[in-house]
Amino acid sequence: MAKKSNWSCVRLTVILYVYAATVAVTARVLPSADIYDTSKYGILELENGLAQTPQMGWNSWNFFRCKTDEKVIRETADALVTTGLAKLGYVYVTIDDCWSGLERNSEGDMVPDSKAFPSGIKALADYVHSKGLKIGIYSDAGLYTCQLRPGSLKHENDDASLFASWGIDYLKYDNCFNLGIDPKERFSLMRDALNATGRTIFYSLCEWGLDDPALWAGKIGNSWRTTDDIKDTWESMTGIADINDKWAAYAGPGGWNDPDMLEVGNGGMTYQEYRSHFSIWALMKAPLIIGCDVRNMTAETYEILANEEVISVNQDPLGVQGTKVHAYGPDGCYQIWAGPLSRKRTVTVLWNRCSKAATITAEWDTMGLESSTNASVRDLWKHEYVSLSSTKSFSAKVEAHASEMYVLAPAASEAA
């Protein structure tokens, strides 16, 4: 009888869990926005209390590659605070590949490179924490990292324990030299090891999208790379945006699609292209991880990265990834990207991927709105309302390779 009773309890628990998860998913979708599919999100979500909104911070790789050291990390932490970027949410300071020595020590532990990090990672973590920030580190779900430092495959428990002892808050976990082992197995081992430390550590999977991690990574990590590494070019950025777009239904609070870090400020794109990059990443609820040298930003770079209205779209508590809802013109280069926000609002980006300026029109129905909806239209880059009462559609002239970003809100709620 006891076995039968226990089995009944298990069945009831499973039924209640599935019901609760289903209700949670349903509640996230606005009734008028059924084009935004979130049906794949939530059932297998990793629940460690982190990533209720996409992570924000800085990473050393895009600008510094292997030429990083503790001085750069300390000065970057200082700059995030003094520029005000930290207050806007950029709180994770992550050391990417090349922080460790070429070999483990005699006890089998990773050790920091003695020339680049002579004070050790623990002292550096203490400094970053003293600034009110969080520190991240890098390792690999293989025998070696991509730059041939020791990887964590077969060392997961020891490495996770070491990271926790240093006060690490964030782990970026890469995919090189993986021996062909199923990524679900390799990345799960580190998840379990991190959980076993008792320290809450943000877990960022960097599997490059090879095995479609959006399908399975929600039960393993807090974010998962859906693409190959980004390059500081228009072609790379636009291609990656398109790849990440198809996985929109799998993202939400607790776990996010990651199309890689921001290249804003690194010099390979124009101001308008970088503004498009930031706008689309924010709309897609992508992690906003700065990849430039924040100690030496131009005014234009700062203007983009510090746009509070665009950041608020990325950090919106509804947590629905915006998506490409319409494309027309030559090769579909006049594009409308949109997504629902909290308080019955909608964000839209008019993106001109053509080589000449054009007027782009967004119809209400393409964005999941009833044609009779009366909405205010706020420009997030000009920081002003372009209309307090619009219906059916609105249009804007958009320069080549540029975008314009707006939030639409029911006119009555704005007036109130």
The residues carrying an active-site annotation are: 174, 229
Write the DSSP string, 351-408. Answer: EE-SSS-EEEEEEGGGGT--TT--EEEEETTTTEEEEEEE-SEEEEEE-TT-EEEEEE
| Paired tokens of 70 | 């503790």
How does DSSP classify residue 110?
Answer: -
Please give the C-alpha separations between residue 369 and each of 33, 385, 404, 414, in angstroms, as whole numbers.
7, 19, 19, 17
User: Closest Cα partner for 273 from 228, 320, 241, 313?
Assistant: 241
* DSSP notation for 203-228: EEE--TTTT-GGGTGGGT-SEEE-SS
Q: What does each C-alpha distance from 136 to 73, 95, 255 come to in angstroms?
A: 11, 6, 17
Q: How far is CA 23 from the centre of its chain?
A: 25
Residues 287 and 56: beta-carbon distance below 8 Å: yes
Which of 353, 341, 361 lies closest to 242, judged by CA? 353
Nearest residue to 94 (alpha-carbon basis) of 76, 112, 115: 76
Q: Are 218 and 250 in contact (CB under 8 A)?
A: yes
Q: Which amino acid is at 155?
A: H
Query: Cβ distance 373 to 388 under 8 Å?
Result: no
Report the alpha-carbon distance of residue 158 to residue 400 in Å, rounded: 51
Inter-residue contact 191 to 219 (CB < 8 Å): no
Query: CA angle at residue 273 from 268 to 279, to 5 degrees?
Result: 125
335 burial type by CB count under 10 A (0-12 exposed, 13-18 middle, 19+ buried): buried
